Amino acid sequence: PAAVIDMPHFCAEAGHTLLSQTQAEGASAYLIRKRPA
């Protein structure tokens, strides 16, 4: 899926930190640290 590429790019552009991304049983999970407000 494109999200594997899109999520790191989104985080970098928005100032967030992508802490981890995992894929299991047909689902993807992304752990993101939101930038300070």
Question: pLDDT per residue over 3-36, tens digit each?
Answer: 999 999 999 999 999 999 999 999 999 999 999 9
Q: Report the C-alpha gap between 5 and 35 in whole angstroms.
A: 20
Q: Could you list the residue range(s) of the whole structural domain that residue 27 is in?
A: 3-33
Q: What is the tally of structural domains in the chain?
A: 1
> In the beta sheet, which residues pair with residue 18?
32
Q: Report the C-alpha gap between 7 and 20 in whole angstroms.
A: 10
Statement: the pTM of the whole predicted model exceeds 0.85: no
pLDDT at 36: 92
pLDDT at 32: 98
Is the pLDDT score of 37 beyond 90? no
pLDDT at 1: 72
